[in-house]
C-alpha cells in the first residue's frame, strides 16, 4: 500500500509499505478521506505537538473515513473514531475516555494514522455512514465531535450570547452548534475575511475582526466564550468579550507549549477556564446532527489532494486560504 509518513518537520515522504496486519478485533479499512487538522499542521511544521515530538517516522491523520475492505461488513462506508481507550484505567471507568491514561490515538506516537491507503482498526470504533453523508463529510465528523464536546462542557443556556474566537473548521462547527443549542446571539471573531464570510453563512449573527471587536461595544458581552484560535492574541480577545463570572473554553492548540493571557482581566472578571481535550463518544450524536440539518459537514472542505500530493496539501492547509483541506488516499465511494 501507499503511505505518507512524516520523518521530521516538513519532511513527509510518500512510499510503498506492506499492508497492515489485521489482528483479532481489527477490521481492514480502505481509507477514502482524511482531513488535515490544526494538530496535524503542528506536527508537520514543528515536528511535534506540545511536549510530544516525532521520535520515529509516523503516519499522520485522525479525521478519517473509509470503506471496510472485507469480512462480514465488507463494503460498508464508515467514519473512523481515531481514539482507542484502554477501558481499564480510572478515567475510562469514570466515562472520560478522552482522558484515558493509555489512549492510543490515530497519527500520534506509535499509532499510525490515516494518510495511507489501508488501515487496520478495531471494528467497535467504525461508525456506519448513512447514504446522506459523503466520505468527505464522514471525515468531518471528528472535528464536529470536538466542537460538540466543547459545547457540552460549556453548559450553554438558552438565549445566551456566545463568542467564537477563531473560525477554522472547529470554530465554524461551534458557531453552528451554538445556534442549534439556543444561543440568540453568536459573535464570530476572525481576522481572515473568507472565514468571517463562512461564519455568517453558518449562522453567526455577526462576524468581525479583532480590531472591530475592540472598537465596538463588545466588552463583557459573551455569556460563553470559545477560544479556537490557538494563540495568545485570540485568548486576549476572549478576555475582552467574556462577561464577568462567565466560562471561557480553550479549544485551540498553541504553537510551542505555553499560553499567556492578561491575568488582571481574568481575575477582575472572575472567569472560569475549561480546557477542551479532544472528545468523548460523539459519533452517533454528530451523525444525527448532520442528518437533521443542524450541522453542515459537506461544505467545510475547500480543497482536496491525492495522497501523492500530501506535502502540497499540508502547505495549502498552513496557508489557511480556505477552510478544510482533505486528502483522498483511495477513491471515495461518493
Average pLDDT over residues 105-113: 93
Give, for 304, the enclosing helix (H) or strand (E): strand 301-306
Do 17 and 131 fall into the same domain?
yes
Mark whether 167 and 189 lie in a shared domain. yes
Report CA-CA distances (Å) from 68 to 77, 210, 315, 324: 7, 45, 30, 24
Residues 8 and 97 placed together within one structural domain of the fold: yes
Rounded distance, CA 279 to CA 167, Å? Answer: 19
- How much is the average pLDDT of 292-310? 97
- Range of lowest pLDDT (61-70, 229-238, 257-266): 257-266
How many C-beta neighbours within 10 Å does residue 49 have?
A: 18
Q: Which domain holds residue 65?
A: 2-140+297-328
pLDDT greater than 60 at residue 300: yes
- What's the number of domains the chain is made of? 2
Q: Does 290 fall in a domain?
A: no
* Dist. CA 330–CA 334, nearest whole Å: 12
Same domain, 123 and 24: yes
- 158 and 263 in a single domain? The answer is yes
In this structure, what are the phi and psi dihedrals at residue 235, rounded to the nearest 5 degrees? -65, -40
Residue 133 and residue 18 share a domain: yes
Whether 164 maps to a domain, the answer reads yes
CATH classification at residue 38: 3.90.180.10
253 in the same domain as 197? yes
Please check whether residues 18 and 93 belong to one and the same domain. Answer: yes
The angle formed by the CA atoms of residues 264, 269 and 274, to the nearest 5 degrees, is: 95
| 29 and 119 assigned to the same domain | yes
Same-domain pairing of 93 and 148: no
pLDDT 10s digits, 211-228: 998 888 889 999 999 999
Percent of the chain with pLDDT over 90: 90
Task: For residue 226, give the CATH number of its domain.
Answer: 3.40.50.720
Q: Is the pTM of this model over 0.85?
A: yes
Amino acid at each position: 500500500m501507499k503511505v505518507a509518513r512524516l520523518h521530521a518537520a516538513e519532511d513527509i515522504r510518500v512510499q510503498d509499505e506492506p499492508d497492515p496486519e489485521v489482528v483479532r478485533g481489527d477490521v481492514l479499512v480502505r481509507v477514502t478521506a482524511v482531513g488535515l487538522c490544526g494538530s496535524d499542521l503542528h506536527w508537520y511544521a514543528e515536528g511535534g505537538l506540545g511536549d510530544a515530538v516525532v521520535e520515529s517516522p509516523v503516519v499522520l491523520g485522525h479525521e478519517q473515513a473509509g470503506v471496510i475492505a472485507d469480512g462480514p461488513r465488507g463494503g460498508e462506508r464508515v467514519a473512523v473514531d481515531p481514539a482507542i481507550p484502554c477501558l481499564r484505567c480510572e478515567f475510562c471507568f469514570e466515562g472520560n475516555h478522552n482522558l484515558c491514561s493509555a489512549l492510543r490515538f490515530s497519527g500520534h506516537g506509535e499509532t499510525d494514522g490515516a494518510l495511507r491507503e489501508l488501515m487496520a482498526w478495531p471494528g467497535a470504533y467504525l461508525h456506519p455512514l448513512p447514504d446522506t453523508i459523503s466520505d468527505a463529510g464522514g471525515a468531518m465528523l471528528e472535528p464536529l465531535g470536538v466542537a460538540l464536546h466543547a459545547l457540552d462542557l460549556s453548559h450553554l443556556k438558552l438565549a445566551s450570547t456566545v463568542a467564537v474566537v477563531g473560525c477554522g473548521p472547529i470554530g465554524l462547527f461551534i458557531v453552528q452548534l451554538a445556534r442549534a443549542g439556543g444561543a440568540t446571539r453568536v459573535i464570530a471573531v476572525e481576522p481572515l475575511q473568507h472565514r468571517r464570510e463562512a461564519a455568517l453563512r453558518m449562522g453567526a449573527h455577526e462576524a468581525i475582526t479583532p480590531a472591530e471587536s475592540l472598537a465596538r461595544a463588545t466588552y463583557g458581552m459573551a455569556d460563553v466564550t470559545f477560544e479556537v484560535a490557538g494563540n495568545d492574541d485570540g485568548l486576549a480577545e476572549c478576555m475582552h468579550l467574556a462577561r464577568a463570572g462567565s466560562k471561557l473554553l480553550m479549544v485551540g492548540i498553541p504553537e510551542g507549549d505555553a499560553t499567556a493571557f492578561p491575568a488582571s482581566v481574568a481575575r477582575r472578571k472572575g472567569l472560569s477556564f475549561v480546557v477542551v481535550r479532544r472528545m468523548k463518544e460523539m459519533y452517533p450524536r454528530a451523525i444525527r446532527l448532520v442528518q437533521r440539518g443542524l450541522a453542515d459537514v459537506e461544505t467545510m472542505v475547500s480543497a482536496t489532494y491525492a495522497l501523492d500530493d500530501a506535502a502540497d496539501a499540508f502547505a495549502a492547509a498552513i496557508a489557511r486560504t480556505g477552510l478544510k483541506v482533505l486528502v483522498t488516499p483511495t477513491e471515495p465511494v461518493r
